[in-house]
Chain A
């Protein structure tokens, strides 16, 4: 009976011990908030600079970097239990710390180190209430992210109505604190949104993962000085890591957000005064007899002969006397190029038979020929022959060197001499 009671007591003790062990093992993956405190200070700035300061403080439960992978430390360690002959500390952990990148031991003792020499300067007494042996306690670790935002406008002085480009570039400086006991890191940060306030009432907002630079075209419609302001909203995480005596990493992950903004005076000068002087032009015609076209080449004439009673085909030409002028602020910058796009016969109908002559008042394409006929010779007024005058309206398109295209309607006329009639003697 006593033996059975002893067995139940042993089993109960073992169960409690296992339960405590499991509880300790599972709870070891979270940092005890009462022991480690993480503070994040996000300071937004509107003059081009902002920063995030993250700090973890733990004065009691910090131990050197843990073993294995899967944590944030740049160091790895190997913990080896070593018995020692001490009443207060019957055995210790000998901790061998290696640089993760090179796997070189960083805590090897000097050759002159006193015995017992376990090949490391980091030894931890296996007593939960003691501090690490031969290592100064570390109370806190900090990380800092500095953000600088520069805004630029190209060209520096733009012209109202002309496009310019507003750019913003966010640069950063990151300081991490990764020591053997505590880690404080800022990671996973990115710009979550950009806002460009062009200063003229127009605002552009871009959301999503955009990057640390942005350029947007913008056109200031009127002259003036504008406060172009760029604002970057940054979000990320600060992560603290501490290690317990068993080499288990304890993480605290805190989100942060910060806003950095800056501005620049964008100047748009007044749009230069552009004037487009129309061309001075007149109509010219290239005649041919009959209705079969022809006469499509050549410059065109202001005055022609025509046979009485003959249907005359006239190809209309634009005779440019003075080409159109492009002026900026009163000074000539170039000439336009004018071309005839259409024409209209004004005045009365000619003597052409019905259906064969050109009807006045209708706008024709430039390539259309004009068909006219005169059945009476020139009138004699005061002993002088009075020629026929044919009024027309020319429709002219002028393209200027800056790409501007203007359309003009130019009134003009040409004269025709009808003094030909059969005569014999």
Chain B
């Protein structure tokens, strides 16, 4: 009798801890997956924008640079397109519109978002995306802001 009661007592005491560990595991995994998807979205947007070569400047100088206006617009447009494809991303248009995008033509330079050294003209982008936890909200931890940055050097 006392052993059965003791087991019930253990179960009652350990169950919340187990549930908390489970919730933590689920939400952290979800967070990592979302961050990885966002990374892909930003990365591909910068890679696409890095093909916007300033052809007039190239013919005029023989040097390769990115067309700042075109590359910025391309990065933002492809960022919106990529974010829309992510199911758990709230309000992609607002995120894309608020994205930080910098075209660096004077090299060597430093990526303003990642601190990475740039030896060639590049497109640098950074987004901030709120991530809502599913289970950790039980303990009051409802959401966090994910910041994802990427850059791509000029290419075809």
Chain A residues close to B by CB (< 8 Å): 285-289, 294-295, 297-298, 301, 303-310, 419-425
Most chain A beta-carbon contacts within 10 A, residue among B46, B61, B64: B64
A379 to chain B, nearest CB (A): 16
Q: Is the CB of A420 within 8 A of B64?
A: yes
**Residue contact A425 to B61, C-beta cutoff 8 Å:** no
A100 CB to closest chain B CB (Å) equals 94
Known: A289-B53, A294-B55, A307-B53. A420 touches B62 (CB 8 A): no
Given contact pairs A294-B55, A421-B153, a sample of 16 additional A-B residue pairs in the complex whose CB atoms are under 8 Å apart: A286-B59, A287-B62, A288-B55, A289-B58, A294-B59, A301-B61, A304-B63, A307-B64, A420-B155, A422-B50, A422-B152, A423-B151, A424-B150, A424-B152, A425-B111, A425-B150
CB distance from B44 to the nearest CB of A (A): 9
A309 touches B156 (CB 8 A): yes
* 25 CB-based A-B contacts, threshold 8 Å: A286-B62, A287-B58, A288-B58, A295-B58, A298-B59, A304-B63, A305-B58, A305-B62, A305-B63, A307-B154, A307-B155, A307-B156, A308-B156, A419-B119, A420-B120, A420-B154, A420-B155, A422-B50, A422-B153, A422-B155, A423-B151, A424-B47, A424-B152, A425-B114, A425-B150
Which chain B residues numbered 46 to 81 have a C-beta less than 8 Å away from chain A?
46-47, 50, 53, 55, 58-64
Contacts of A286 in B (CB 8 A): 59, 62
Alpha-carbon separation in the docked complex, A223 to B9 (Å) = 133
B144 at the interface (CB under 8 A from A): no
| CB of B132 to closest CB in A, whole Å | 27
Q: How far is the CA of A286 from the CA of B55 in the complex (A)?
A: 11
Q: How far is the CB of A258 from chain B (nearest CB, A)?
A: 82
- Kindly list the 8 A-B residue pairs having the minimum CB-CB distance in the complex, ordered from nearest: A301-B62, A295-B59, A304-B62, A422-B155, A305-B64, A310-B156, A424-B43, A307-B156
Chain B proximity of A228: nearest CB distance (Å): 64
Nearest residue, chain A, Cβ from B116: A425
Chain A: CB-nearest residue to B60: A298
Whether A424 lies near B46 (C-beta < 8 A) is: yes
What is the CA–CA distance of A422 and B50 in the complex, to the nearest angstrom?
A: 8
Q: How far is the CB of A10 from chain B (nearest CB, A)?
A: 130
Q: Report B-chain residues with C-beta under 8 Å of the C-beta of A298.
A: 59-60
Give A425 to B152 CA distance when docked, in angstroms: 7
Query: Cβ of A420: which chain B residues have Cβ within 8 Å of it?
Result: 64, 120, 153-155
A288 / chain B contacts, CB cutoff of 8 Å: 55, 58-59
Residue of B nearest to A306 (CB): B64
Given contacts A286-B59, A287-B59, A303-B62, contact A424 B151 (CB under 8 A): yes
Instruction: Give CA–CA (A304, B153) in the complex, Å.
Output: 18
**Distance A297 CA – B153 CA, assembled complex (angstroms):** 28
Distance of A288 Cα from B56 Cα, bound (Å): 8
Of all chain B residues, which has the CB nearest A315? B59
Cβ B47 vs Cβ A422 within 8 A: yes
- Given known A307-B53, A307-B64, contact A423–B59 (CB-CB < 8 A): no
A231 to chain B, nearest CB (A): 72
B58 partner residues in chain A, CB cutoff 8 A: 287-289, 295, 305
From A294, A309, A422, residue with most partner B Cβ within 10 Å: A422
- Residues from chain A with Cβ under 8 Å of B64 in the complex: 305-307, 420
Question: In the complex the two chains form, what is the Cα distance from A422 to B64 in whole Å?
Answer: 14
State the CA gap A297–B56 with chains docked (Å).
Answer: 11
CB distance from B73 to the nearest CB of A (A): 19
B70 → chain A closest CB, angstroms: 14
Contact indicator per residue, chain B 27-56, by CB within 8 Å of chain A (1) or not (0): 000000000000000010011001001010
Q: How far is the CA of A425 from the CA of B155 in the complex (A)?
A: 15
CB distance from A300 to the nearest CB of B (A): 8
Chain A residues lying within 8 Å of B116, measured Cβ to Cβ, are 425
Complex formed: what's the CA distance from A306 to B156 in Å? 10
Give bound CA distance, A115 to B43, whole Å.
Answer: 150
Smallest CB separation, A288 vs chain B (Å): 5
Alpha-carbon gap, A310 to B47, bound state (A)? 16
Residue of A nearest to B123 (CB): A424
